[in-house]
Chains A and B, each alone.
Chain A
Amino acid sequence: EAGVVQSPRYKIIEKKQPVAFWCNPISGHNTLYWYLQNLGQGPELLIRYENEEAVDDSQLPKDRFSAERLKGVDSTLKIQPAELGDSAVYLCASSLGVATGQGGDEQFFGPGTRLTVL
């Protein structure tokens, strides 16, 4: 069974340019997460989807970040325009979602996209 797929794995852009990351979750997983991981830190949740609905986007900087999961399967995270401080690893994760509301639902992580903003 394929795991969570993310692309690209690495991206280098100049500041003020737009950038987009793509994530394809494990087949059958209803819940999808985007995390930001700064160097030397743990992942921080940006947004969580239940199917196509964003149920928690409280940590997403909405002035420059946007995300979509139109058909409830794959998802795209966009930054426009990118700033120097956006350099980080962007992780996508998915889970079955059957335990929604009860906690403890195992999340499976993709390898991440390492973004460098020059």
Chain B
Amino acid sequence: AQSVTQLDSQVPVFEEAPVELRCNYSSSVSVYLFWYVQYPNQGLQLLLKYLSGSTLVKGINGFEAEFNKSQTSFHLRKPSVHISDTAEYFCAVSQNRDDKIIFGKGTRLHILP
């Protein structure tokens, strides 16, 4: 069975500093990987996704993630965060040929002034 582990429940970072949110997955088959963002009192919004091809995926709002098959990771990065990036970030995985998405527990990003 597939699963997603987000190692950090909260990550504080100073404004304009870089950030990395960690995500590891387990699956016995090929996977599709996603990062979603949830702003307070809103639904989830897709940041980026990896389906195939280049392992470095660029998304919206300056975020990017790198798929590492050997380490079963899909860490999310941004070189310089802004106060508007304060939100909950969810990593998710779905199996190839299966639309069901399994979400991680989320990482809350705190931007410090």
Q: Which residues of A contact B (CB under 8 A)?
A: 4, 31, 40-45, 48, 56, 91, 93, 95, 99-112
Contact = CB atoms under 8 A, between A and B. Distances in A.
A87 to B, nearest CB: 16
Contacts of A4: 43
B43 A110 contact: yes
- The size class of the interface chain B forms with chain A is 20 to 34
Contact of A104 (B32, B41, B45): B32
B105 interface: yes
Contact of B44 (A41, A45, A109): A109
Contacts of B36: 109
Contacts of A44: 103
B62 to A, nearest CB: 19
A29 B16 CA distance: 38
Contact of B99 (A103, A108, A110): A103
